[in-house]
Structure 1
Amino acid sequence: MHIRRQIFVKSPDCQKVVALQLDPAQSLLTLSGITSLLESSQRISFSACSITLDGKLLNGSTRIQVSKLPSVSMLTLFPRLRGGGGDGGATGAESRDCYLNMYAEKKPDKVDPNEQRLSKWLNCALSNEPLAEPCVIDLLGNLFNKEVLVHALLSKRLPKQFSYIKGLKDMVNIKLTPVAGSDGSSQDTTSAQFQCPVSGLEFNGKYKFFALRGCGHVMSAKALKEVKSSSCLVCHADVKDSDKIVINGTEEEVDLLRERMEEEKAKLREKKGVSKKSKNGAAVVADTGAKVAKRQIEDGNVNGNGITVKKFKAADKVPVNATKEVYASLFTSSKKKSDFRETYSCRSLPLGRN
């Protein structure tokens, strides 16, 4: 005996309930069978709905035995949420690896240009510590704490970018003027600690500053331009254009400073070469003179006191009617060097013949 089973279908808007009668001879019930039956009889579209039967979600692989269903069941339709992106989740277009790599790649931190500018003007270019007296500047306009730079030179740990600094001759001691009310030793790295002693402009990178090689005073370009003078505006020492080193200049200004530095080093090498050559020449002349003097002493032309004495030669004073060669042979001073030597008993016979 077949039991009649009835399924009530609740619409997505929950405003309509439809009763569906199942065929008593039917043994299996599938999702596709239910949807085709409802679409043909009730003209309802299930493509955008999720379906549950007595609270159990149905999918394409679901198989339900009709004999196990109760006499009355409830089929509920739920509208599916349509995703359009923008909710922060994945769209399905990319793999999980792409999604994870998006967060795994560390983006570079943004550097505040103002902080970068202040760091160059307030901190040591080598240690990045705040500038503190005594301070120095190299020939390209970089600022250093002198103790840090000297220690790096002695320990031979100077970075390659500062390899042109070989010793104290390649750095200039500078005198920075603290801002009024400050001793110049503050650890605050957000505001200027020094200023121009003439114009009062802050030493913070907004204005161009020069360091004078002669006296070491640091002052703004504005002060040097407005007060035109061939001497320092602070100590009145003589200043030439070649004595001005622009601090933290542009690439073009640094290139000009580099050219000037190379020219100065080339002139210094040339000067050392000429001096060394002169010393070597004097040494050669002195050595040659000593050899000549020694030879003159040996020849008898110069005595031990350096007085020139003409050596006596018998051939120079030949008596009248005497033969020069015969007369000269009587004296050893006129004989040429040979292997014949005179003996004590006979001057005319050589050794081995007496």
Structure 2
Amino acid sequence: MASPPKLLQIFVASPDLQLPRRSITLSTDITVGWLKLSLLRSKTLTVDSFYFSFNGRPLPDSTTLAAADVPSSSILTLRHRLAGGGGDGGATGAESRDCYLNMYAVKKPDKVDPNETRLSRWTTCALSSEPLAPPCVIDRLGNIFNKESLVEALIHKRLPKAFSHIRGLRDMISIHLSLIPDADGSEMRFQCPIAGLQFNGKYGFVAIKGCGHVLSVKSLKEVKSSACLVCHKEFSEMDKVVINGSPEEVAALRDRMEEERGRLKEKKEKKPVSCLSGSKHASDEKAGSLENGMKNGSGKRFKAIDIAPVNANKEVYASIFTSSKKERFKETFSCRSLPLGRN
């Protein structure tokens, strides 16, 4: 008898349709096409015009959630499919079959538009390839992420090797991106709050660790100040992190990160030693120096007889203290001043 299918809880979001993120519990044998149809059933939209993506990878409609290796608590994004071309009059019907065979005989490498690659680095999450949406964070090397995607990958231990330097929340720097008002609201775009330069890779940007504000390099050069131009919080040169920098800038940030971790490790290793050699050893040294001073004559040794009251018997008064004729008495655990044989 076949075992019943397992249940899976996933999150569904659609920035293109401005649908709020919601949680859905489904069976693992449900297809992606059925899920898409259930979401678009109440809308007058063409089902074929949309597709689901997981971690930036499109999912075919015929694929089940189990076959797509979608783990629990994952986020599936419903995206709008771009319309294709055609109808340009390029086909005349007179071409022979050999023309098509020769055309596809040698596969040409796909040309990657450098402008598209640059724009993708500055407008999408470096981990999930989803459009940037606050809250956003950067790592110590200047890569930019959606905070939710990065935290989820850390919890499930699914970080790629390229981001192995991110070990926890301490390696994330929360940033504040300044939005550009968009008329239709279909896409979030960002800019420098001082110079108004767009956050698209054409201009250099840095993030300030202390406050998290993202400013263009040009604005920091024009207005030379040791305080943030937005919140006026003081910062140093070491607090600036270059976002999506060049290989040389990334190498400098990596060296700074390793140096900071080395100092922190050295500080942790020295901390237990300082505790052991701290109050306890200092008190022992103080007590030893006091005792040596009393014995060597640098300080006067205490005697109870010297401070006895005027009308008191000095010998009786001195017997109250252990410093008086100690060789004649044996101290007990319950009372140091009461010797045995006198009760």
* Cα root mean square deviation, aligned: 3.6
Pairs within 5 Å for 1:1-354: 103=104, 106-181=107-182, 186-187=186-187, 193-282=189-278, 285=281, 309-310=322-323, 312=325
Shift of 1:249: 0.3
Q: Distance in 2 between matches of 1:288 and 1:149?
A: 51
Distance 1:103 1:165, change over 3 A: same
Task: Look up the equivalent residue of 1:217 and give its one-letter code.
Answer: H
In the other structure, the counterpart of 1:41 is: none
Max Rg structure? 1
Displacement of 1:231 in angstroms is 0.2
- Alpha-carbon distance, 1:200 to partner: 0.3
In the TM superposition, what is the alpha-carbon distance from 1:111 to its structure 2 partner?
1.0
Q: How many Å separate the matches in 2 of 1:233 and 1:308?
A: 72
1:116/1:312 Cα in 2 relative to 1: closer, same or farther (>3 Å)?
same
Deviation at 1:281, TM superposition (A): 3.4
Amino acid aligned to 2:256: R
Q: Deviations over 1:219-273 (max 9, x none)?
A: 1000000000010000000011111111100000000001111111111111111
Percent identical pairs in the alignment equals 57
Deviation of 1:179 after TM superposition, in Å, equals: 1.1
- Please list the CA deviations of residues 85-109 of structure 1 after superposition, one character each: whole Å capped at 9, or x if unmatched: xx9969xxxxxxxx98994664432
What is the Cα deviation at residue 277 of structure 1? 1.7
After TM superposition, give the deviation of residue 187 of structure 1 in Å.
3.8
Aligned mates of 1:163, 1:213 — CA distance in 2 = 21
CA deviations over 1:50-83 (Å, ceiling 9, x no partner): xxxxxxxxxxxxxxxxxxxxxxxxxxxxxxxxxx
What is the letter of the counterpart of residue 223 of structure 2?
A: V
Instruction: Return the offset for 1:274.
Output: 1.4
Amino acid at match of 2:176: K
The residue matched to 1:197 in structure 2 has which SS? coil
Rounded to whole Å, the distance in 1 between the matches of 2:110 and 2:252 is 33
Residue of structure 2 in register with 1:22 after alignment: none
Q: Could you say which residue in structure 1 is the equivalent of 2:49?
A: none
C-alpha separation between the residues in 1 aligned to 2:196 and 2:150? 29
Q: Deviations over 1:273-326 (max 9, x none)?
A: 11122224348749989xx9xxxxxxxxxxxxxx99348466xxxxxxxxxxxx
Change in 2 beyond 3 A, CA 1:101/1:269: farther
Aligned residue identity for 1:177? S
In 2, distance between residues paired with 1:283 and 1:216? Answer: 40
- Give the letter aligned to residue 309 of structure 1: T
Secondary structure of the equivalent of 1:262? helix
Aligned to 2:42: none
- 1:154-212 CA distances to partner (integer Å, 9 max, x unpaired)? 111111111111111111000000113469x7447xxxx10000000000000000001
CA distance in structure 2 between the partners assigned to 1:308 and 1:201 by the alignment: 84
TM-score computed with the length of structure 1 as normaliser? 0.51
What 5-or-longer segments of structure 1 have no aligned partner?
A: 1-86, 91-98, 293-306, 315-330, 334-354
